[in-house]
Structure formats: structure tokens, C-alpha cells
């Protein structure tokens, strides 16, 4: 089996994405798992999406939905998600797509609409925010998968897999027996690093951008 390379919460920071990928000695059988939040806040959301699509042409890439993509996809139908989009970094995304909201889905609609809520393997569950520990995986509400915070990371879950997630930023990766969070605040804080987690047959290696 090849390695899994998990990356999350890029938030339009294309330079940091390129920087962290350049530090990885990529192998043909690697699988990237992007945990969502490609867009908003940073200066080049469009460029991040294009880079992920480019990587998917060379490597196996599994692309999950984050809270910011969820808000984007529901912004036109729901006032609450419209508020979330425009108040948590959406204007920067619109600017990167030429200044028009409609351009986002016109250019990359197929990508955003294809995003999955989670990816499950024998050893890992990859998801953007986490799971509600009171329910089985099949019973999860999709909004918990992209928005849940302390109710997940402050509690043990009952899955046999270790959960790899993002959404809630920490100064260093949050490493617990049953879960790992790799969101370090990229895009939200100027000097926050982007983190990649390489999972290789039980070994866990963290790679960080320089800036």
C-alpha cells in the first residue's frame, strides 16, 4: 500500500501549499487526502483549487468538503450560510475569481459539487471537522462532519479507526490516541504554517511549510 498524505485548511494560501508539497518526496502510489477548506481568507483560492486539480491528474487525490465549501454551496439558498460565506473570507475568494461570485461555480463548480464528506479506510477516517461521538458513522448529520468542534475533540469516539481532521486550529498538531488534528491556522493567521501528515503503514510524519 502507498502512503496517505493528508492536508487541510489551506484557505487560499497557494504559496504555502506549494511550499509544503515541495518538501515531500512524492511517490507514484501516494494518495493525497485533502480535508476541505481550500478557499476563503487567503489571496488565491482559485489557484489552490487549480493546484489540487492539477495534482489529481498525476496522483490519486481524495477531496473532501470543508465548512467553507459547504457555506459556498448553500449561500444562494440559505441566509445563514450566505452570512458565513461573506463574513469569513468569502470576499477574498470572489476577488480571486475575478470579482464575481457566479464565477466560482462557473469555473470550478464540478470540483466543489464533487467533494465528499469523509473517506474511510481500515485504519483511518478522514473528515473535515470530526464526528458526533454519540452516533455511528452512518447516522452522522452532514453539518457535524464539517462544523463540529469541542464536542468531538474533547471526547473519545467509538470507531476502530483513528480520525484525521482539521477545522479547529491549534498551534501544533493535536495528537490523541484516537484522533489527530492538523489545522494550524493557515490563512487565518499571517505566520501560521500549513501542515501535511504523511501516513505510511503505521508511521506518522508531519511536514510543515516554512512560513
Q: What is the pLDDT of residues 53-104, one digit of tens each?
A: 999 999 999 999 999 999 999 999 999 999 999 999 999 999 999 999 999 9
Q: What is the pLDDT of residues 121-153, one digit of tens each?
A: 999 999 999 999 999 999 999 999 999 999 999
CATH homologous superfamily of 15-208:
Metallo-dependent phosphatases (3.60.21.10)
Asked if 128 contacts 164 with a C-beta cutoff of 8 angstroms, the reply is no
pLDDT (0 to 100) of residue 209: 98
Closest-CA residue to 176 (of 122, 133, 118)? 133
pTM: 0.97
Provide the sign of the torsion angle of the four alpha carbons 98, 103, 107, 108, taken in this order.
positive
Asked if 116 contacts 64 with a C-beta cutoff of 8 angstroms, the reply is yes
Provide the sign of the torsion angle of the four alpha carbons 50, 56, 58, 59, taken in this order.
positive
Domain boundaries, the chain: 15-208
Q: What is the pLDDT of residues 62-75, one digit of tens each?
A: 999 999 999 999 99
Amino acid at each position: 500500500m502507498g502512503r496517505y498524505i493528508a492536508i487541510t485548511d489551506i484557505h487560499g494560501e497557494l504559496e504555502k501549499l506549494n511550499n509544503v508539497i515541495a518538501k515531500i518526496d512524492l511517490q507514484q502510489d501516494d494518495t493525497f487526502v485533502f480535508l476541505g477548506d481550500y478557499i476563503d481568507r487567503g489571496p488565491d483560492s482559485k489557484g489552490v483549487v487549480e493546484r489540487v486539480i492539477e495534482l489529481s491528474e498525476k496522483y490519486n487525490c481524495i477531496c473532501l468538503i470543508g465548512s467553507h465549501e459547504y457555506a459556498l454551496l448553500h449561500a444562494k439558498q440559505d441566509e445563514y450560510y450566505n452570512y458565513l460565506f461573506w463574513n469569513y473570507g468569502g470576499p477574498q475568494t470572489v476577488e480571486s475569481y475575478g470579482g464575481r461570485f457566479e464565477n466560482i461555480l462557473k469555473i470550478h463548480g464540478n470540483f466543489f459539487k464533487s467533494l465528499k464528506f469523509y473517506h474511510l479506510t481500515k485504519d483511518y477516517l478522514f473528515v473535515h471537522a470530526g464526528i458526533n461521538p454519540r452516533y455511528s458513522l452512518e447516522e452522522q448529520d452532514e453539518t457535524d462532519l464539517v462544523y463540529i468542534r469541542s464536542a468531538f475533540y474533547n471526547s473519545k469516539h467509538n470507531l476502530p479507526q483513528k480520525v484525521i481532521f482539521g477545522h479547529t486550529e491549534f498551534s501544533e498538531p493535536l495528537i490523541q490516541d484516537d484522533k489527530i488534528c492538523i489545522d494550524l491556522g493557515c490563512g487565518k493567521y499571517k505566520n501560521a504554517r500549513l501542515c501535511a501528515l504523511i501516513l505510511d503503514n503505521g508511521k506518522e510524519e508531519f511536514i510543515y511549510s516554512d512560513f
